[in-house]
Amino acid sequence: MQNILSFLILIPLLGSLAALLIRPTQTSLFRWLALIAVTLQLILFIVLVSNYEAGGGFQFVEQRSWISLDLGSWGTLKADYFLGVDGMSLPLIGLAIFVMLIACISSWNGVTNPKGYFSLYLLLNAAVVGSFAALDFLLFYVFFEFMLLPMFFLIGIWGGSRREYASIKFFLYTLLGSILILIVMIGLYLSVNDPSGSGGLVHTFNMLHMSDPSNYISNTILDPNNIVTLGPFSARSWAFLFLFFGFAIKLPMVPLHTWLPDAHVEASTPVSVILAALLLKIGAYGMLRIAYPIFPEAALDFSVMVAVFAVISILYGALTAMASKDLKRMIAYSSVSHMGFVLLGLASGTTEGVTGAVYQMVSHGILSAMLFIIAGVLYDRTGDRLIRNYSGLAGKMPYFFAMVLIAFFASMGMPAFSGFIGELMIFLGAFKSNAHNGLIHESLAIIATLGLIFGAAYFLWAIQRMFFGTYDVKGNARNSILPDLNNREILMLFPLAVVTFIFGVYPQPLLDLINPFATDFVNHLLYQGRILSPHL
């Protein structure tokens, strides 16, 4: 029971190694291996949830000494294998396993070189779960970087015609983000002391120690009690900005988002699903877990900037989606828009806003998975993603159309689906912020609501062009027959639809998990932020 998180990470990791040992000719063995691994994870996750106590802080904590180097007068270098889950990471781990399962089903048929593919898939799985569970910055960073590698190859080898351009763009963008994060990590390492270390100076990567201002070694670069100023900002502000933009690339936030549409368009369906549903969440996760708690005063200082970027992402993403000719590209931009809401909730610094942000992360994970599978259903049949090449599919593929309606309307924020709850909470928070903590003005929330109108516009327009009218297919699709959903596709889409519906109608169980986290988060942010901030 105590090592359950380790098992969640180890199972796919071992699976990945096992895949390397199987002969490549055993093609169907690899997918079974992957499926068994994810199923085991799912069972373990159910055990995890049923033993989790809502509101009990970090649980299932595992802490083992990982690296401990005595550096003499420079103190001790200490990094731990330190895992734990709280009300934010638990839902995200659940989301990760669920989406991985869907992605596995999605990769069931027709993958070339399944040995390499499923081995990378399992490695990615371990890295994603590990990132959500790590509480040591160095450990997090290792998992974080380990996601980059399999993703690069999954896009670059199994992708579409411009896959190399897309995968290198993806790699360089995220590498830039990683470097920004790395710089701050080293700065923090130099500045933070482990209070449990007996007497001597112990440099640590423990994130929880980093969030406590009393653990900073005096006169170090990030010491909050002795502000070092570099140019226009203090060193801590710089550090926050580095982390913020580092994670914002992953989120992705306009204008750091252009890797996303290219990566999505070139990636195969299951890779797109993982990319949108999980990898984008790591960006927001990093802000919630690292950037905000460690630099609360800088986070408060820059909340208007964060909110402005959020609003720009929401509107720009939605408007660009409206102009997209490619279905997958449209969905990719809708992700940019939807993740902007997460940022807005975060910037509000209210319990409602932060709860909504986490809720929206889970909801977007489910909905983006659904949307990309929908795009994949068509692409599998025709090899064509251009919206204008389809019309009148509603009559031809009625079950598919029903799923499209659910996914599209849920993404528009229709009540009774998960997206509505998340966005409502975020708007409540953003609206309340000015009166409650003075961080951001209501007008930003009001402008952001325009995103909901644009969102309705591009989704409805896509429905009208592709599904309504008389049946006709053109372009690459012209010679294809379009049968309705097969069982495997129903097996993917139906559970996703059910989950978004349940989270939309009965959100309380999930909110009960998230809410204690959000309360602590906001209390820490406002309390520590105000103490540390020189002018608030």
Partner 1 sequence: MSDLIGFIPLAPLLGFLFIGFLNKSLTKGWVSFFACGAVFVAFILSSVLFFNLLNAPEGQAAFTYTAFDWITTGNFSVSFSFLVDPLSATMMMIITGVGFLIHVYSVGYMYHDDGFRRFFMYLNLFIFFMLLLVMGSNYLLMFVGWEGVGLCSYLLIGFWFKNQDYNDAAKKAFIMNRIGDLGLILGVILIFVTFGSINYADVFSKAGEFPVGSEIITWITILLFVGAIGKSAQIPLYTWLPDAMAGPTPVSALIHAATMVTAGVYMIARNNVLYTLSPFTLEIVTVIGLATALFAATIAIAQNDIKKVLAYSTVSQLGLMFVALGLGAFTTGIFHMATHAFFKALLFLGAGSVIHGMSDEQDIRKMGGLRKYLPITFITFLVGTLAIAGIPPFAGFFSKDEILANAFAHSKVVYAVGAIASLLTSFYMFRLFFLTFSGENRASEEVKHHIHESPKSMTIPLMVLAVLSLIGGFMGVPEVLGGSHALNNFLSPVFAQSAQIAGEHHHLDHSTELILMGLIVGLTLVMIFIAYSIYVRRKSVPTSNEASLGAAHRLVYNKYYVDEAYNTVVVKPLYFLSKVFDSVVEKLLIDNIVNGTGKAITWGSKTLRLVQTGNTGFYILAMVISIIVLLVSRSFL
Query: Scanning residues 462 to 521, which ones bind partner 1 (CB under 8 A)?
Result: 464, 467-470, 506-508, 511, 514-515, 518-519
Residue nearer to partner 1 on the CB measure, 41 or 433: 433
CB 449 within 8 A of CB 368: no
Given the rule CB under 8 A, which of 71-79, 134-142, 280-288, 460-468 is the region that contacts partner 1? 460-468
Residue nearer to partner 1 on the CB measure, 83 or 394: 394
Q: Which residues pair with 69 in a beta bridge?
A: 77
* 229 membership: H or E segment, kind and range: strand 229-230
255 binds partner 1 (CB under 8 A): yes
Cα-based angle 61, 67, 72 (whole degrees, multiple of 5): 130
Instruction: Give the shortest CB-337-to-partner 1 separation in angstroms.
Output: 12
523 binds partner 1 (CB under 8 A): no
198 contact partners, CB below 8 Å, separation of at least 6: none
78 contact partners, CB below 8 Å, separation of at least 6: 65, 67, 68, 69, 194, 197, 202, 203, 204, 205
Encoded one letter per residue, x for contact with partner 1 by CB under 8 A and - for no contact, window 24-43 reads: --------------------
Instruction: Give the shortest CB-245-to-partner 1 separation in angstroms.
Output: 14
Written as six digits, the tokens of 148 are 């980059």
Residue with tokens 């009625």: 398
320 binds partner 1 (CB under 8 A): yes
Residue nearer to partner 1 on the CB measure, 7 or 461: 461
* 374 membership: H or E segment, kind and range: helix 351-382
Rounded CA gap, 515 and 512, in Å?
5
| Residue selected from 131, 234, 272, 355 as contacting partner 1 according to rule CB under 8 A | 355
3-state secondary structure of 201: coil
Measured in whole angstroms, the distance separating CA 241 from the mean position of its chain's CA atoms is 19
| Residue selected from 446, 498, 531, 536 as contacting partner 1 according to rule CB under 8 A | 446
Query: Scanning residues 108 to 127, which ones bind partner 1 (CB under 8 A)?
Result: none
Given the rule CB under 8 A, which of 106-114, 267-275, 373-381, 428-436 is the region that contacts partner 1? 428-436
Query: Scanning residues 165 to 204, which ones bind partner 1 (CB under 8 A)?
Result: 169, 172-173
231: left (phi over 0), alpha (psi -120 to 50) or beta: left
Rounded CA gap, 319 and 106, in Å?
30
406 binds partner 1 (CB under 8 A): no
The residues that touch partner 1, with contacts defined as CB under 8 A, are: 169, 172-173, 255, 258-259, 316, 319-320, 322-324, 350-352, 355, 392, 394-395, 409, 414-416, 421, 424-425, 427-428, 431-432, 435, 445-446, 449-450, 452-454, 456-457, 460-461, 464, 467-470, 506-508, 511, 514-515, 518-519
